[in-house]
Amino acid sequence: MDNLIKIKNVSSRYDITARTLLYYEDMGLITITRSDDYAYRMYDENNVRRLEQILILRKLNIGIKDIQRIFNSDRSDVVLEVLGEKVRNIDDEVALLHELKGIVIDFIREIEQVDFADNSGIKLLYNKAKEIETQFINVDYIGKPNATKIERLIEITDKLDKKIPDVMIVRIPKFRAITSGLGEWGEWFKLMDWAWSEGRLGKLFSNIIFDCIDFLIRKNDNEEVKFEYIMAIKDHVTEADIAPFEAIEFEGGLYALAVSIDGDDESIHKVEDKIMGWINGTNFEYDESRGIMGHMTYCDEEIKKGLSYEQLQRYVPIKLKSEVV
């Protein structure tokens, strides 16, 4: 076992979540090694190298389905086909950005022709527009002439933002759960390793919402960020069944939910920012008394077969604004 690496150490070394590693396992991209006398999920050197290849391809925004095709083939033409399609997608997005540049510059030209001397707010808008102009690369691009600027602006921005879906509201019911306890990042691996070993997953745990049995909760504890991992357990499960861990009653409640298609921090923050912005336009507000939760959806067989990426759901706790209660 000396040449094997624990899932916790792999996750820390490559800055990816254990849920993402489990997803890669489930999709057949990497495999674990276990012995009868060792319960932890371990990876050998070959699988660590394979993981490095996966991470490079994911940085190139190559989907899981295409990574499977690459690994399942010994021919270079498959890699060239996948990368060629990626280049074509980038070209399409670049063309949209150039067209967006043209629309924004047209707006700037129109603003320049108006006198805003008596309106400080509009002057501020003008100055910001000038900043935008200086950030665009000076490349000429002719957009579709048959669309109005506003209609085309909406169309372009929708296409560029297609990777971030709309926000929806869900009510998570109260449920009984096993908890890792509130602690540092990485401490929750102990509960996950325990739950996935010795066939416990099917015996003890219960689906709650969207085939989801678990949540990783981020909380602020005296201005320090800590984490708690919880997994829903069935009604018949006793304290003895889950020792040395403890059971809690999760309060549930309303959450604003959006889905990220990537498992990286930038995507997560972008989704959370979008949720917060969306909340500001409703009669809801962020409920700071509860933590923001994450869940990696991959346990459903149809989802695994149909998607070429991992879905990371973000749950932001919300409540009605006090003035409308």
Is 3.40.50.1820 the CATH number for 5-71?
A: no
300-322 burial string, b = 16+ CB within 10 Å, else e? eeeebeebebbbbbbbbbbeeee
10-27 burial string, b = 16+ CB within 10 Å, else e? bbeeeebbbbbbbbbbeb
Q: Measuring CA to CA, how many Å separate 68 from each of 44, 117, 222, 261?
A: 20, 60, 44, 17
- Predicted local confidence at residue 132, as pLDDT: 56
Tell me which architecture the domain covering 168-324 has in CATH: Alpha-Beta Barrel (3.20)
Average pLDDT over residues 125-152: 53
Instruction: Return all residues near 225 (Cβ < 8 A) that are at least 6 apart.
Output: 218, 219
**pLDDT, tens only, 167-202:** 899 999 999 999 999 888 778 888 888 888 878 888
More confident residue, 307 or 57: 57
d(CA 258, CA 79): 32
- Predicted local confidence at residue 310, as pLDDT: 67
- Predicted local confidence at residue 119, as pLDDT: 58
- Predicted local confidence at residue 10, as pLDDT: 85
pLDDT at 144 over 50: no
**pLDDT, tens only, 49-105:** 999 998 888 888 787 788 888 888 878 888 899 889 888 888 888 888 888 888 778
Q: How confident is the model at residue 209 (pLDDT cuts 50, 70, 90)?
A: confident
CA neighbor of 13 nearest in space, from 36, 45, 40: 45
pTM, whole model, 2 decimals?
0.57
More confident residue, 22 or 30: 30
Q: Measuring CA to CA, how many Å separate 246 from each of 181, 200, 231, 242?
A: 8, 15, 11, 7
Q: Of 68-72, 104-108, 129-133, where does mean pLDDT reach its minimum?
A: 129-133
